[in-house]
Amino acid sequence: MKSMRVDMPDTTTTEQLVKQITELAKDKSVHGILLQHPVPDQINERLAFEAIPGIKDVDGVTIQSFGAVSFDLPEYGYGSCTPAGIMRLLKAYDVKLQGVEAVVIGRSPILGKPMAMMLLAEHATVTICHSRTQDLPSVVRRADIVVAAVGRPNFVQGDWIKPGAIVIDAGYNEGNLGDVDYEAAAQQASMITPVPGGVGPMTIATLIDQTAIGAARQLGLNDA
């Protein structure tokens, strides 16, 4: 796999970025496009994401890919890499999802929302929490699985975790801190991911795998 880095100045406009993405989209030797984000404030990030063709959206950031995840139709798109990596991690540890209560803290379009859809597809009962959720600790305490994706260091406290729950920390903050108070939560949880070294490597592995799948699809090969 060959990685091609395209650097653009901080003053880049939405139009310039979309033009660059469109040129890459037309290049048959490019099988996956990853837009590093967040982008500078002057850029409309959603317009930039949507310039990526669905078949090359290996990071799973477009509306098409979110629709594919929501309808559980993977042949029409790709999962956002972090939630897709989390699902692989849960599968690797034989975590049973059918019927369990899962709480996702965070509702970003490339993490919290697709995470909820993926868990729902596996027949979990899913609650999405956010900044306006009332009495968040009591909601989290019901959960058999907690996915923290809020971007606030040590936000989820140990006493929020139900004994035996599984805790997935999808956050990364300055100082190598996750969104969960790891030491405290680990006293309650049956399984918990560390930061760094937990979800992060799964995100990267999923991106690489989905790029290979994208190449196979574009070349008319079996992507199995």
Query: What mean pLDDT is predicted for residues 185-204?
Result: 97
The predicted structure's pLDDT at residue 222: 74
| Tens-digit pLDDT profile for residues 21-75 | 999 999 999 999 999 989 999 999 999 999 999 999 999 999 999 999 999 999 9
pLDDT of residue 190: 98
Confirm or reject CATH 2.40.10.10 for domain 14-80+202-218, answering yes or no.
no
Are 90 and 66 spatial neighbours (Cβ–Cβ below 8 Å)? no
Same topology, domains 14-80+202-218 and 81-201? Answer is: yes
CA-wise closest residue to 109 among 129, 88, 136, 80: 80
In this prediction, residues 13-24 reach a mean pLDDT of: 98
CATH architecture of 81-201: 3-Layer(aba) Sandwich (3.40)
Q: What mean pLDDT is predicted for residues 2-29?
A: 97
Mean pLDDT computed over 110-128? 98
Structure tokens at 10: 């901080």
What residues does each domain of the chain span? Answer: 14-80+202-218, 81-201
What pLDDT, on a 0 to 100 scale, did the predictor assign at position 207?
A: 97
**Does the pLDDT value for residue 223 go beyond 90?**
no
